[in-house]
Structure 1
Amino acid sequence: MTDPTTMALTELAAKGADADFVKQTLQFALQRLMEMDVETLSKAAYGERSEERINSRNGYRDRAWETRAGTVDLKIPKLRSGSYFPAFWNPVGLPRRP
């Protein structure tokens, strides 16, 4: 039997219900990282009115990200002025879309 502490992520993903947990946890963590990043860029939280605000949001772009745990569906925040692309996206060699 495989020792759970040394089990590869692909083996864990193949186990079914555990795969959903891994994917959902990854999706939640990445969504939260993007939200915090956009809050920092715009200098205000989502829906917050602030004198310091320098940008505002303009919806989301749906993107699928292929990982060893499976496909993770992400909603990448859009900004009214300029653009936002998560920093974690490019290091894995994914193409950048407009």
Structure 2
Amino acid sequence: MLFARLAVRALVGATLLEQNDERAVQRGRYTTLETIAPLGDDPAVSFPAIAS
């Protein structure tokens, strides 16, 4: 019985850690315009124009 409880606790802990990692990845994946906008003021960073 004790081993079953420890196994469940380990499984729940591992699941929570994985969810936390997924949230961290999602936060980094979607960056707001307010975060990107200051990069446009840097002359060292330039992007080629897209021909339409």
Structure of larger gyration radius:
2
Which protein, 1 or 2, shows the higher relative CO under an 8 Å CA cutoff with sep ≥ 6? Answer: 1
Q: Give the strand-richer structure, 1 or 2.
A: 1
- Relative to its length, the structure with more helix (as a share) is 2
